[in-house]
Protein backbone atom coordinates (compact mmCIF):
# COMPACT_ATOMS: atom_id res chain seq x y z
CA UNK A 1 0.00 0.00 0.00
CA UNK A 2 1.05 3.59 -0.64
CA UNK A 3 1.37 4.28 3.08
CA UNK A 4 2.39 7.91 2.63
CA UNK A 5 -1.27 8.61 1.72
CA UNK A 6 -2.77 6.55 4.53
CA UNK A 7 -4.06 8.84 7.26
CA UNK A 8 -4.88 12.55 7.25
CA UNK A 9 -4.35 14.76 4.25
CA UNK A 10 -5.31 18.41 4.49
CA UNK A 11 -6.83 20.27 1.53
CA UNK A 12 -5.07 23.58 2.09
CA UNK A 13 -6.95 26.84 1.64
CA UNK A 14 -5.36 29.70 -0.28
CA UNK A 15 -5.16 32.79 1.97
CA UNK A 16 -5.79 36.16 0.32
CA UNK A 17 -5.28 39.72 1.46
CA UNK A 18 -7.80 42.59 1.17
CA UNK A 19 -6.81 43.08 -2.49
CA UNK A 20 -7.42 39.39 -3.30
CA UNK A 21 -3.69 38.75 -3.71
CA UNK A 22 -2.22 35.53 -2.32
CA UNK A 23 -1.13 36.11 1.28
CA UNK A 24 2.08 34.09 1.46
CA UNK A 25 2.82 35.07 5.05
CA UNK A 26 -0.52 33.57 6.12
CA UNK A 27 0.08 30.53 3.92
CA UNK A 28 3.35 29.85 5.74
CA UNK A 29 1.53 30.10 9.09
CA UNK A 30 -1.08 27.64 7.82
CA UNK A 31 1.49 25.11 6.60
CA UNK A 32 3.25 25.26 9.98
CA UNK A 33 -0.07 24.98 11.82
CA UNK A 34 -1.23 21.83 10.05
CA UNK A 35 2.23 20.25 10.06
CA UNK A 36 2.67 20.81 13.78
CA UNK A 37 -0.88 19.51 14.27
CA UNK A 38 0.12 16.10 12.95
CA UNK A 39 -1.37 15.75 9.47
CA UNK A 40 0.25 13.10 7.28
CA UNK A 41 0.34 14.90 3.93
CA UNK A 42 -0.49 18.21 2.24
CA UNK A 43 -2.93 18.68 -0.63
CA UNK A 44 -2.31 21.80 -2.72
CA UNK A 45 -4.88 23.18 -5.18
CA UNK A 46 -7.88 21.09 -4.26
CA UNK A 47 -11.38 22.57 -4.37
CA UNK A 48 -10.83 24.13 -0.92
CA UNK A 49 -7.95 26.17 -2.36
CA UNK A 50 -10.37 28.10 -4.63
CA UNK A 51 -8.24 26.74 -7.46
CA UNK A 52 -10.71 27.74 -10.24
CA UNK A 53 -10.10 31.40 -9.34
CA UNK A 54 -6.31 31.17 -9.52
CA UNK A 55 -4.27 31.47 -12.69
CA UNK A 56 -2.00 28.60 -13.72
CA UNK A 57 1.01 30.69 -12.72
CA UNK A 58 -0.49 31.40 -9.28
CA UNK A 59 -1.27 27.73 -8.71
CA UNK A 60 2.32 26.72 -9.42
CA UNK A 61 3.62 29.61 -7.29
CA UNK A 62 1.55 28.34 -4.35
CA UNK A 63 2.86 24.81 -4.88
CA UNK A 64 6.47 25.97 -4.92
CA UNK A 65 5.93 28.07 -1.81
CA UNK A 66 4.27 25.23 0.14
CA UNK A 67 7.13 22.90 -0.79
CA UNK A 68 9.67 25.49 0.37
CA UNK A 69 7.93 25.82 3.76
CA UNK A 70 7.29 22.09 4.24
CA UNK A 71 9.68 21.78 7.18
CA UNK A 72 8.56 18.23 8.04
CA UNK A 73 8.96 17.08 4.44
CA UNK A 74 5.41 15.76 4.33
CA UNK A 75 4.24 14.21 1.05
CA UNK A 76 2.64 16.77 -1.27
CA UNK A 77 -0.38 16.04 -3.50
CA UNK A 78 -1.23 18.54 -6.24
CA UNK A 79 -4.71 19.02 -7.66
CA UNK A 80 -4.72 19.20 -11.44
CA UNK A 81 -7.93 18.59 -13.35
CA UNK A 82 -10.19 19.82 -16.11
CA UNK A 83 -12.93 18.93 -18.53
CA UNK A 84 -10.81 18.82 -21.70
CA UNK A 85 -8.81 15.60 -21.80
CA UNK A 86 -6.41 16.82 -24.49
CA UNK A 87 -5.62 20.05 -22.65
CA UNK A 88 -5.12 18.19 -19.39
CA UNK A 89 -2.82 15.60 -20.96
CA UNK A 90 -0.63 18.40 -22.32
CA UNK A 91 -0.52 20.00 -18.86
CA UNK A 92 0.67 16.74 -17.35
CA UNK A 93 3.27 16.23 -20.06
CA UNK A 94 4.63 19.73 -19.45
CA UNK A 95 4.41 19.70 -15.65
CA UNK A 96 7.97 19.80 -14.31
CA UNK A 97 7.40 20.47 -10.60
CA UNK A 98 7.96 17.39 -8.42
CA UNK A 99 5.00 16.22 -6.34
CA UNK A 100 4.33 12.88 -4.68
CA UNK A 101 0.97 12.40 -6.43
CA UNK A 102 -1.73 14.23 -8.37
CA UNK A 103 -5.35 14.54 -7.27
CA UNK A 104 -7.46 14.53 -10.44
CA UNK A 105 -11.15 15.41 -10.25
CA UNK A 106 -13.69 13.87 -12.62
CA UNK A 107 -14.35 16.01 -15.72
CA UNK A 108 -17.07 18.49 -14.88
CA UNK A 109 -19.92 20.15 -16.77
CA UNK A 110 -19.75 18.04 -19.94
CA UNK A 111 -20.91 14.98 -17.95
CA UNK A 112 -19.27 12.05 -19.74
CA UNK A 113 -20.54 8.50 -19.30
CA UNK A 114 -18.54 5.76 -17.60
CA UNK A 115 -16.65 4.83 -20.77
CA UNK A 116 -15.66 8.46 -21.24
CA UNK A 117 -14.54 8.78 -17.63
CA UNK A 118 -12.41 5.66 -17.90
CA UNK A 119 -10.82 6.80 -21.16
CA UNK A 120 -10.18 10.26 -19.68
CA UNK A 121 -8.41 8.91 -16.61
CA UNK A 122 -6.37 6.40 -18.59
CA UNK A 123 -5.10 9.16 -20.88
CA UNK A 124 -4.18 11.33 -17.89
CA UNK A 125 -2.52 8.46 -16.01
CA UNK A 126 -0.48 7.58 -19.09
CA UNK A 127 0.75 11.18 -19.35
CA UNK A 128 1.45 11.87 -15.66
CA UNK A 129 4.99 11.54 -14.33
CA UNK A 130 3.75 10.79 -10.80
CA UNK A 131 0.88 8.63 -9.46
CA UNK A 132 -2.76 9.62 -9.82
CA UNK A 133 -5.42 9.71 -7.10
CA UNK A 134 -8.91 9.77 -8.57
CA UNK A 135 -11.35 12.31 -7.12
CA UNK A 136 -15.04 11.48 -7.26
CA UNK A 137 -17.29 14.34 -6.12
CA UNK A 138 -20.61 14.20 -8.01
CA UNK A 139 -22.15 17.16 -6.18
CA UNK A 140 -19.58 19.40 -7.89
CA UNK A 141 -18.94 17.62 -11.19
CA UNK A 142 -22.41 16.33 -12.10
CA UNK A 143 -21.10 12.79 -12.71
CA UNK A 144 -20.45 9.80 -10.47
CA UNK A 145 -17.47 7.55 -11.14
CA UNK A 146 -19.15 4.27 -10.28
CA UNK A 147 -17.66 1.29 -8.48
CA UNK A 148 -16.97 -0.83 -11.56
CA UNK A 149 -15.20 2.09 -13.23
CA UNK A 150 -13.05 2.72 -10.16
CA UNK A 151 -12.04 -0.94 -10.01
CA UNK A 152 -11.21 -1.00 -13.71
CA UNK A 153 -9.07 2.11 -13.33
CA UNK A 154 -7.38 0.64 -10.24
CA UNK A 155 -5.71 -1.84 -12.57
CA UNK A 156 -3.73 0.98 -14.21
CA UNK A 157 -0.19 1.00 -12.75
CA UNK A 158 -0.19 4.78 -12.31
CA UNK A 159 -3.56 5.05 -10.53
CA UNK A 160 -3.04 4.39 -6.83
CA UNK A 161 -6.22 5.44 -5.07
CA UNK A 162 -9.38 7.49 -4.89
CA UNK A 163 -10.74 10.38 -2.87
CA UNK A 164 -14.35 9.26 -2.64
CA UNK A 165 -17.02 11.87 -1.90
CA UNK A 166 -20.10 10.49 -3.59
CA UNK A 167 -22.71 11.60 -1.11
CA UNK A 168 -24.22 11.42 2.35
CA UNK A 169 -23.70 7.68 2.67
CA UNK A 170 -20.76 5.31 2.33
CA UNK A 171 -22.34 2.55 0.26
CA UNK A 172 -20.07 3.14 -2.73
CA UNK A 173 -17.01 3.21 -0.46
CA UNK A 174 -18.06 -0.18 0.92
CA UNK A 175 -18.42 -1.60 -2.57
CA UNK A 176 -14.98 -0.34 -3.57
CA UNK A 177 -13.36 -1.60 -0.36
CA UNK A 178 -14.73 -5.10 -0.86
CA UNK A 179 -13.14 -5.50 -4.31
CA UNK A 180 -10.22 -3.08 -4.61
CA UNK A 181 -6.59 -4.21 -4.96
CA UNK A 182 -4.70 -4.61 -1.70
CA UNK A 183 -2.42 -1.63 -2.38
CA UNK A 184 -5.20 0.75 -3.48
CA UNK A 185 -5.83 3.82 -1.27
CA UNK A 186 -9.46 4.59 -0.39
CA UNK A 187 -9.76 7.98 1.30
CA UNK A 188 -12.78 10.01 2.30
CA UNK A 189 -13.61 13.42 0.89
CA UNK A 190 -16.26 14.08 3.53
CA UNK A 191 -15.18 15.18 7.01
CA UNK A 192 -18.55 14.33 8.52
CA UNK A 193 -18.32 10.69 7.36
CA UNK A 194 -14.81 9.83 8.58
CA UNK A 195 -15.84 7.17 11.10
CA UNK A 196 -18.41 5.27 8.98
CA UNK A 197 -16.16 5.62 5.92
CA UNK A 198 -13.23 4.01 7.71
CA UNK A 199 -15.49 1.36 9.20
CA UNK A 200 -16.41 0.54 5.60
CA UNK A 201 -12.73 -0.08 4.76
CA UNK A 202 -11.31 3.39 4.11
CA UNK A 203 -7.76 4.46 4.91
CA UNK A 204 -8.19 8.09 5.95
CA UNK A 205 -9.43 11.47 4.79
CA UNK A 206 -8.46 14.44 2.67
CA UNK A 207 -9.89 16.96 5.07
CA UNK A 208 -11.19 20.51 5.07
CA UNK A 209 -11.53 20.95 8.82
CA UNK A 210 -7.94 19.79 9.34
CA UNK A 211 -6.91 23.27 8.16
CA UNK A 212 -8.27 24.59 11.45
CA UNK A 213 -8.23 21.52 13.69
CA UNK A 214 -5.36 19.34 12.45
CA UNK A 215 -4.68 17.60 15.76
CA UNK A 216 -8.28 16.66 16.47
CA UNK A 217 -8.81 15.41 12.90
CA UNK A 218 -5.58 13.42 12.90
CA UNK A 219 -6.41 11.93 16.29
CA UNK A 220 -9.74 10.63 14.93
CA UNK A 221 -7.97 9.01 11.96
CA UNK A 222 -5.20 7.46 14.03
CA UNK A 223 -7.70 6.01 16.49
CA UNK A 224 -9.70 4.48 13.64
CA UNK A 225 -6.58 3.01 12.03
CA UNK A 226 -5.70 1.49 15.39
CA UNK A 227 -9.19 0.00 15.71
CA UNK A 228 -10.07 2.11 18.76
CA UNK A 229 -13.65 3.17 18.03
CA UNK A 230 -14.30 4.63 21.48
CA UNK A 231 -11.31 6.96 21.25
CA UNK A 232 -12.21 7.93 17.69
CA UNK A 233 -15.75 8.87 18.69
CA UNK A 234 -14.46 10.85 21.67
CA UNK A 235 -12.05 12.83 19.47
CA UNK A 236 -14.68 13.33 16.78
CA UNK A 237 -17.10 14.74 19.35
CA UNK A 238 -14.68 17.66 19.85
CA UNK A 239 -15.16 18.86 16.26
CA UNK A 240 -18.72 17.76 15.50
CA UNK A 241 -20.22 21.19 16.22
CA UNK A 242 -17.70 22.92 13.97
CA UNK A 243 -18.39 20.34 11.28
CA UNK A 244 -22.07 21.23 11.41
CA UNK A 245 -21.17 24.89 10.80
CA UNK A 246 -18.26 25.17 8.39
CA UNK A 247 -20.17 23.91 5.34
CA UNK A 248 -23.40 25.83 5.96
CA UNK A 249 -22.51 28.60 3.50
CA UNK A 250 -20.23 26.56 1.28
CA UNK A 251 -16.58 25.61 1.15
CA UNK A 252 -14.12 27.23 1.77
CA UNK A 253 -16.32 29.99 3.22
CA UNK A 254 -16.71 28.28 6.59
CA UNK A 255 -13.17 27.01 7.01
CA UNK A 256 -11.75 30.42 6.15
CA UNK A 257 -13.98 31.93 8.83
CA UNK A 258 -12.62 29.38 11.32
CA UNK A 259 -9.01 30.10 10.33
CA UNK A 260 -9.64 33.84 10.62
CA UNK A 261 -11.16 33.34 14.08
CA UNK A 262 -7.98 31.48 15.06
CA UNK A 263 -5.81 34.33 13.74
CA UNK A 264 -4.06 32.22 11.08
CA UNK A 265 -5.40 33.94 7.94
CA UNK A 266 -7.56 36.93 7.03
CA UNK A 267 -11.16 36.29 6.06
CA UNK A 268 -10.98 37.03 2.34
CA UNK A 269 -12.16 34.96 -0.64
CA UNK A 270 -12.13 35.56 -4.38
CA UNK A 271 -15.37 36.18 -6.19
CA UNK A 272 -17.71 34.54 -6.91
CA UNK A 273 -17.20 33.30 -3.31
CA UNK A 274 -17.76 35.71 -0.43
CA UNK A 275 -16.92 35.59 3.29
CA UNK A 276 -19.23 33.98 5.84
CA UNK A 277 -22.16 35.99 7.13
CA UNK A 278 -21.67 37.78 10.44
CA UNK A 279 -24.04 35.34 12.12
CA UNK A 280 -22.18 32.25 10.90
CA UNK A 281 -18.82 33.79 11.79
CA UNK A 282 -20.01 34.37 15.37
CA UNK A 283 -21.26 30.77 15.63
CA UNK A 284 -17.97 29.36 14.31
CA UNK A 285 -15.96 31.62 16.62
CA UNK A 286 -17.99 30.47 19.63
CA UNK A 287 -17.73 26.77 18.70
CA UNK A 288 -13.96 27.03 18.22
CA UNK A 289 -13.53 28.47 21.71
CA UNK A 290 -15.14 25.36 23.21
CA UNK A 291 -12.42 23.03 21.94
Q: Give 185-229 pLDDT, tens digit per residue.
A: 999 999 999 999 999 999 999 999 999 999 999 999 999 999 999
Chain-centre distance for alpha carbon 150:
18
CB 266 within 8 A of CB 26: yes
Helix, coil or strand: residue 26 = helix
Rounded to whole angstroms, how far apart are CA atoms 197 and 177?
A: 10
Is position 78 annotated as part of the catalytic site? Answer: no
Determine whether the annotation assigns residue 48 to a binding site: yes
The pLDDT-based confidence of 168 (bands split at 50, 70, 90) is low
Q: Say what the pLDDT of residue 169 is.
A: 76
- 75-109 confidence digits (pLDDT tens): 999 999 999 999 999 999 999 999 999 999 999 99
pTM, full prediction: 0.97
- At residue 247's C-alpha, the angle toward residues 241 and 249, to 5°, is 120
CB 97 within 8 A of CB 63: yes
* Identified catalytic residue from 6, 29, 163, 256: 163
CB 208 within 8 A of CB 239: no
Nearest in space to 42 (alpha carbons), one of 284, 232, 252, 218: 218
Is position 163 annotated as part of the catalytic site? Answer: yes
Amino acid sequence: MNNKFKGTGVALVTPFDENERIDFEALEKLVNHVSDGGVDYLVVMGTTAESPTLSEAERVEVLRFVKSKNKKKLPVVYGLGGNSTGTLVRQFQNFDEYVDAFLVVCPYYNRPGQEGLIAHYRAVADAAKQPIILYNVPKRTGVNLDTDSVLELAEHPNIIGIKEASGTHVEQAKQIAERMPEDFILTSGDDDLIIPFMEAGGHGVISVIANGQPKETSDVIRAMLAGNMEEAQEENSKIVELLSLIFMEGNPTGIKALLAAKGIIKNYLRLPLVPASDELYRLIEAAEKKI
